[in-house]
Structure 1
Amino acid sequence: MARIASNNKVAQKVQNPRFPGNNLPTSPGKRMVNHELIDKSEDSGSSDGEEFDGTVQADFEFFDPKPSDFHGVKILLQTYLDDKQWDLSGFVDVILGQPTVGTVIKIENDDDDGIYSIVTALNLGRYKDLACMADLKEFLLKACRQKDVFSKLSLFLGDQTKDVGLLVSQRVVNLPPQLLPPLYDALFDEVSWATEDEPTKELRSSFFFKFYLVISKIYKHKNADKQNGPSDDQTIVYIKAEDEIFYELSSWSFSFPLHTQLVRTDELKDHRLTGLVMAIDASKIPVFRQKLHSLIDQ
């Protein structure tokens, strides 16, 4: 859907003087750069008879989540917990009710006001009594079949819950990778600012995350767990580039089969869409940010 060169955060975010200077765009005005959208629809012919190459110009912008984003965010999160019937609407309400930490990506002047990405971090302890979080907890505990990891997951969802940030990151599959470094930089900067700027001590404390929990998806080779299966570099295909870094830095992780399956290419015909849960110590986030920049800048 998109192919861009982007540089920034805070297009409509607050003008916070703490925002690092090297994350600001070089050009004045709105924080965005020329982007190309690839139109893959079948009906993309030119009405005036001129040849149309399927590429149009568009500008992406970063916004605080707001109530009117409900349907767009809900669409992105439809398969967040596979095909489980759960309080997804309540989960979206939690995300949109936390505008100081979190970002949605839209296209400038888009009449449909579509959402192309949502990124946020939610304190599991703060929202533990909500039905959506109870559903999420039940889903994860049922999905984890590794005994050594199950005990660690149970701690995350129990005694340690107030220290855990659920890092929610969903987007259209082919969102331009150049957006990722400023997107994640902004998220973790906002978390840091929230520990000082939130109006109450309780809210400030809720953003002192010691750990992050990431729920994502990968493609895993169908013979990955067999003795004569494929080599390590053929076992996993990461849908999101940053997940490979998260996995490398994770303290523990587990994967599980999914009922929901996406359309696969010939290259992925021997792979299955698989759930992946990762725990990352918050002290590793600066390394993650550096590695993400290096990966995308290559």
Structure 2
Amino acid sequence: MPRKPARHCRPARGLPLSFSPFARSMARIASNNKVTHKVQNSRFPGNNLPSSSDGRMENHGQIDKSEDSSSSDDEEFDGTVQANFEFFDPKPSDFHGVKILLQTYLDDKQWDLSGLVDVILGQPTVGTVVKIENDEDDGIYSIVTALNLGRYKDPECMVDLKEFLLKACHQKDVVSKLSLFLGDQANDVGLLVSQRVVNLPPQLLPHLYDALFDEVSWATEDEPTEELRKSFCFKFYLIISKIYKHKNADKQKGPSGDQTIVYIKAEDEIFHELSSWSFSFPLLTQLVRTDELKDYRLTGLVMAIDASKIPIFRQKLHSLIDE
């Protein structure tokens, strides 16, 4: 499938963004608490933009390398280095990199994660991995894709995933809706999988999601069979993500408004706002927290998004990152 040309830009440090000042502060704390050596690449669709000779899509950005931030007497190093990000179709050689990114996708559950990675890599027409140009390790810094729950209902990994979600949901008014998504409505639902390193420059996000939703649209016209084309005619998206939630969020003495939740991913605040329904659940896996986050717990968040809201999401994400 043809790709739109690449976009070049100069993003600032890869810090998570969110709407409220409090959430932005907490997200920065959470990001700075985890040091990664590099940030990942990605593909960027866009109009009137130059493309590379081999079909890759490139972007220029900065990587936070705080662990290497030693300086000489004569020269200071500000903790960032310049990097070129590139978007690629998933391929079999990306297996280990994608599996590392997804290793806590379902908390600490023992499940067929390898099977999910195989499904993702087996769908190259819709999906993006992000890498750094000329990276000898060929590391994967982000993966985003959408998988039809009906098309992939039989693999063990999807059976495990559905079982996990049904056990995690304890909200009576949501369980029936979730069951429909996983059962009778599965052919209309896309599992939106989006995982990345914590300090991926946020300026990449609009292009990353534009690439995904453009690919979904193209697939409804360009796939070779009617069955495949229909499999990308999503009416809904299901998203599994993580947030920091205040331990007293459900009690009167807890904080209110923006201080209740810290969104680790900038886009999750928009998805949450636009969701038809959602539920959260406690996670056994907990990250190392700073004093500022001592009253917050890493929490699972599942959201259902009507596909008709995706244009609004894309506009809001562009507006948020361009602030």
TM over 0.5, shorter chain: yes
Q: Which secondary structure does the structure 1 equivalent of 2:110 belong to?
A: coil
Q: 2:114 aligns with which of 70, 89, 114?
A: 89
Per-residue CA distance 1:153-207 (angstroms, 9 max, x = gap) = 0000010000000000000011111000011011000000000100111100100
Question: What is residue 138 of structure 2 aligned with on the other side?
Answer: 113
User: Separation in 2 of the partners of 1:285 and 1:149?
Assistant: 22
| Structure-2 change in CA distance of 1:273 and 1:150 (3 Å) | same
| Structure-2 change in CA distance of 1:208 and 1:229 (3 Å) | same
Contact 1:253-1:277 within 8 A present in 2 as well: yes
Q: Which runs of 5+ in 1 are unaligned?
A: 12-18
Question: What is residue 16 of structure 1 aligned with on the other side?
Answer: none
How far has the Cα of 1:26 moved from its partner? 6.2
User: Separation in 2 of the partners of 1:45 and 1:243?
Assistant: 34
Question: What is residue 32 of structure 1 aligned with on the other side?
Answer: 58
Q: Which secondary structure does the structure 2 equivalent of 1:32 belong to?
A: strand
| Structure-2 change in CA distance of 1:177 and 1:199 (3 Å) | same
Question: What is residue 89 of structure 2 aligned with on the other side?
Answer: 64
User: Separation in 2 of the partners of 1:191 and 1:129?
Assistant: 22
Q: Are residue 284 (structure 1) and residue 309 (structure 2) matched? A: yes
Contact 2:62-2:201 within 8 A present in 1 as well: no
User: Separation in 1 of the partners of 2:273 and 2:215?
Assistant: 24
- Residues 144-159 of structure 1: pairs in structure 2 closer than 5 A: 144-159=169-184
Per-residue CA distance 1:28-71 (angstroms, 9 max, x = gap) = 87743432222122x55479996544322211111100001000
| Structure-2 change in CA distance of 1:142 and 1:56 (3 Å) | same
Determine which structure has greater relative contact order: mean sequence separation of CA pairs < 8 Å that are 6+ residues apart, divided by chain length. Answer: 2
User: Separation in 2 of the partners of 1:60 and 1:81?
Assistant: 28
**Aligned length, in residue pairs:** 285
**Farther-moved stretch of structure 1 (97-106 vs 43-52):** 43-52
User: Separation in 2 of the partners of 1:155 and 1:176?
Assistant: 36
| Structure-2 change in CA distance of 1:48 and 1:96 (3 Å) | farther
User: Separation in 2 of the partners of 1:115 and 1:214?
Assistant: 21
Q: Are residue 187 (structure 1) and residue 197 (structure 2) matched? A: no
Question: What is residue 265 of structure 1 aligned with on the other side?
Answer: 290
User: Separation in 2 of the partners of 1:172 and 1:134?
Assistant: 27
**Farther-moved stretch of structure 1 (141-150 vs 261-270):** 261-270
TM-score (norm 1): 0.90
Question: What is residue 227 of structure 2 aligned with on the other side?
Answer: 202
The root-mean-square deviation of aligned C-alpha atoms, in Å, is: 2.3
Q: Are residue 275 (structure 1) and residue 300 (structure 2) matched? A: yes
User: Separation in 2 of the partners of 1:151 and 1:27?
Assistant: 46
Q: 1:256 aligns with which of 257, 261, 281?
A: 281
| Structure-2 change in CA distance of 1:28 and 1:144 (3 Å) | closer
How far has the Cα of 1:115 moved from its partner? 0.6
| Structure-2 change in CA distance of 1:52 and 1:74 (3 Å) | same
